[in-house]
């Protein structure tokens, strides 16, 4: 690794930088669940309650990444704790990459088909692109590689539930007649995200944040 790369790794692992990311991700995660409030309420009123955890995809991905940052700051010492950490990190990387790219792509596709793109959409595209970027940047500091297959299976299950029961994230109006294409894109993106997580991660125990 070059000197510049080593300095960048040291900077990214600095506790102040991680706390700064937490200061961004915690309120972003909370806002994400609030954003899904109407769909959660609609799902609760019209679908079985067990489907509710499958509705807020992006904020749950952000929650996984937030927990992964906390575990990077305070890594567990027991074997069970390390396994839980690895699973959370794997879920964080796979789902953050997947839903980060998904949201940007879907909003852009809706705009391409003639739907309006307002300032909230630009905010969502920027924040979701950031989700994917930070997950890929931090994957190499995580110990998630051995758990990526489990994260892949969970995300595929989530996709299956979303498009089998109709609880996928509400789409731009311009895409409401393109659900089969969105479904196929979603499944392919899950596979891509797992592959990206695998390539970006390392199967080593990282140093404690400085």
Measured at the CA of 1, the angle between CA 23 and CA 82, to 5 degrees, comes to 50
Q: What is the rounded distance in angstroms from the CA atom of residue 141 to the CA atom of residue 201?
A: 7
Name the nearest CA neighbour of 137 among 181, 169, 97. Answer: 97
Condensed to tens digits (0 to 9), the pLDDT of residues 15-35 reads: 999 999 999 999 999 999 999
Residue 115 confidence (pLDDT) = 87
State what percent of residues in the chain have pLDDT above 90. Answer: 87
Both tokens assigned to 117: 């793109």
Residue 157 confidence (pLDDT) = 98
Residue 203 confidence (pLDDT) = 61
Residue 209 confidence (pLDDT) = 47
Residue 10 confidence (pLDDT) = 85
The arithmetic mean of pLDDT across residues 34-53, rounded, is: 96
Condensed to tens digits (0 to 9), the pLDDT of residues 138-188 reads: 999 999 999 999 999 999 999 999 999 999 999 999 999 999 999 999 999
Name the nearest CA neighbour of 67 among 44, 91, 42. Answer: 91
Residue 207 confidence (pLDDT) = 47
Please give the span between the terminal C-alpha atoms of the chain, in angstroms, as a whole number. Answer: 19
60, 95 contact by CB (below 8 A): yes
Q: What is the pTM of this model?
A: 0.92
Compute CA 68 distance to the chain's CA centroid, rounded to the nearest angstrom.
11
Per-residue pLDDT at 9 exceeds 90: no
Measured at the CA of 65, the angle between CA 105 and CA 59, to 5 degrees, comes to 55
In the 3-class helix/strand/coil scheme, how is 66-97 assigned residue by residue? HHHHHHHHCCCCCHHHHHHHHHHHHHHHHHHH
């Amino acid at each position: 690794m070059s000197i510049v790369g080593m300095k960048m790794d040291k900077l990214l692992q600095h506790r102040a930088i991680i706390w700064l990311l937490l200061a961004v991700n915690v309120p972003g995660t909370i806002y994400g669940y609030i954003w899904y409030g109407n769909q959660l309420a609609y799902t609760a009123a019209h679908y079985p309650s067990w489907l509710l955890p499958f509705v807020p995809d992006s904020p749950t991905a952000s929650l996984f990444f937030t927990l992964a940052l906390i575990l990077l700051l305070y890594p567990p010492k027991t074997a069970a704790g390390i396994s839980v950490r690895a699973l959370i990190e794997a879920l964080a990387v796979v789902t953050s990459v997947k839903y980060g790219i998904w949201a940007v792509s879907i909003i852009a596709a809706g705009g391409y088909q003639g739907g309006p793109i307002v300032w909230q959409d630009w905010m969502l595209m920027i924040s979701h692109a950031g989700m994917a970027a930070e997950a890929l940047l931090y994957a190499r500091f995580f110990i998630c590689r051995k758990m990526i297959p489990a994260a892949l299976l969970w995300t595929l299950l989530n996709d299956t539930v979303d498009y089998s029961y109709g609880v996928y994230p509400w789409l731009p109006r311009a895409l409401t007649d393109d659900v089969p294409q969105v479904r196929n894109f979603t499944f392919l993106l899950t596979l891509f995200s797992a592959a990206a997580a695998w390539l970006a991660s390392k199967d080593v125990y990282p140093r404690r944040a400085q």
